Chain A
Amino acid sequence: MKVAVASGKGGTGKTTVAVNLAWFLADSGRKVQYIDCDVEEPNGHFFISPHLSQKKPACVMLPAIEQLKCTSCGECSQKCQFNAIVRLPGNTLIFPELCHGCGLCLLVCPAQAISEDEREIGVVATGMGWGGIEFAHGVLNVGEPMPNPLIRMVKQQGLRDHIQIIDAPPGTSCPFIETISDADLVILVTEPTPFGLHDLEISVAVAQARGKSVCVVINRENGSFLPLEAFLEERQLKILARLPEDRKVAEVYSDGELMLEALPDYRKYFTAIAAEVFRQSAELGLTSGGALP
């Protein structure tokens, strides 16, 4: 079972919900893996405290042009939809930072003048964290504009017999879509503000357009925000929990502590979130992490 925790708007509490859900499931004796796909600014490791036993470079394919074989026909440049190749008379230039590593240029070059090279865009690291939580994250190199290939590689670390809690990057464009692309359930964390609602609407639209099952967690609730309630009602979206506005939560978070460890009162909210994960995994016939022996 793959559960993506996402939000649209940044700072709504994705990581808080994701790491505490992982902790809660592990504490209930489930096999859990926490996967941080927020590769531009991963921070789940502060809370799961993994021992990163494996680190490997993440590379993308980069075309290399053999200028002697190149006939300057311009086919590669014309076909590249990312504008990463420029054909000039007698010289073909590649802009690595624009290349998506799709390999189309290799296929279309009639002179076989293009070969595969590779370029490191970041690191994938895995290890064991608190309470037996399996951990995986990716760290994108600074200045690297393209997170998606790294997000794919991080997701490939997923363990089939574990419940995978996938922490998504903020936003609703390519990195978000890549992260949720094979999730069985998408939990959208929102806050009761116009900004939170605006991005929730986009996130719901994108996730549902991808055919995803969507549930909502409202974070930092402080009285009812009617436009949000109306939207959730209209779309018939299931609300798994309403986490109250609470300074203590912010303090615990700022200290890098797990909310559920420091504030046991909050466990009741995660009982409800976990129940939905179990219900949907049973419905789909997917693993819910089983009970550990």
Chain B
Amino acid sequence: MKIAVTTSGDNLAAPLDSRFGRAARFLIYDTDTKGFQLVDNSQNLNAAQGAGIQAAQTVANAGVNSLITGHCGPKAFRVLQVAGIEIFNCAAATVEEALGLLKEGKLQAANEADVEGHW
């Protein structure tokens, strides 16, 4: 199973980025191989509009099953939902910590956007 985590860094100890659409990149952790890959999201940092939508498309195309991020707005939520990706809102400090919380079952899948667009 693949889990995408929003981050501003490039390793498991890096901070979790609370933003989804305008996160610098996604760390995609593979629970089977225990390895990870990084997917860049920097093209969305300065997008005039639709950053969340594009970010959602990016993680969907990376074939992930779950997403851990700080907050997710309504448009991105709609795309992720259609793509069948579970969203976990999380306030953990690092990627590793967030993955740990998910593994321990301490995160609950969101069933709606937790913020307005452009929060």
Binding site for B on A (CB under 8 A): 77, 82-84, 86-89, 91, 93, 95, 98
Are A82 and B57 neighbours in the complex by a CB distance under 8 Å? no
- Known pairs A88-B79, A88-B83, A91-B82; A98 contacts B49 (CB<8 A): yes
Given A93-B78, A95-B75, A87–B53 Cβ distance below 8 Å?
no
**B interface, how many residues as a size bin?**
10 to 19
Q: Are A98 and B57 in contact (CB under 8 A)?
A: no
A83-B82 CB under 8 A given contacts A77-B57, A88-B60, A95-B75: no
CB atoms of B53 and A86 under 8 A apart: yes
Q: Which residue, B48, B57, B60, B78, has most C-beta atoms of chain A within 10 A?
A: B57
Whole-angstrom distance from the CB of A21 to the nearest CB of chain B? 35
Report Cα–Cα, A77/B56, bound state, in Å: 13
Q: Is the CB of B49 within 8 A of A93?
A: no
Once the chains bind, are B78 and A83 in contact (CB under 8 Å)?
no
* Minimum CB–CB distance for B64 against chain A, Å: 12
Pick the contact of A95 from B50, B51, B83 — CB < 8 Å? B50
Determine if B53 and A88 form an interchain contact, defined as CB atoms under 8 angstroms apart: no
Q: Does A83 lie within 8 Å of B79, measured CB to CB?
A: no
Contact (Cβ within 8 A) B83 A83: no
B-chain residues with CB within 8 Å of residue A91 when the two chains form the complex: 82-83
Q: Is the C-beta of B47 less than 8 angstroms from some C-beta in chain A?
A: yes
Residues of B within 8 A of A93 (CB): 78-79, 82
User: A89 CA to B50 CA in the complex, in Å?
Assistant: 19
Distance from A97 Cβ to chain B, minimum over Cβ atoms (Å): 9
In contact, B50 and A82 (Cβ under 8 angstroms): yes
In angstroms, how far is the closest chain A Cβ from the Cβ of B118? 10
Contact with A along B39-64 (1 / 0, CB 8 A): 00000000111110110110010000
Residues of A within 8 A of B54 (CB): 83, 86
Q: A77 — which chain B residues lie within 8 A by C-beta?
A: 57
Q: Are B51 and A86 in contact (CB under 8 A)?
A: no
Q: Which 10 A-B pairs have the closest CB atoms?
A: A83-B50, A86-B57, A88-B83, A86-B79, A83-B54, A98-B50, A88-B60, A83-B53, A86-B53, A91-B82
Q: B residues within 8 A CB of A86?
A: 53-54, 56-57, 79
Contact between A83 and B60, CB atoms less than 8 A apart: no
State whether B50 touches A84 (Cβ < 8 A).
yes
Interchain nearest-CB distance for A92 vs B (Å): 10
Complex formed: what's the CA distance from A95 to B47 in Å?
16
Chain B residues near A87 (CB, 8 Å)? Answer: 57
Q: Across the interface, which residues of B come within 8 angstroms of A88, CB to CB? A: 57, 60, 79, 82-83
Nearest to B44 among chain A residues (CB) is A83
Q: Is B49 touching A82 in the complex (CB atoms < 8 A)?
A: yes
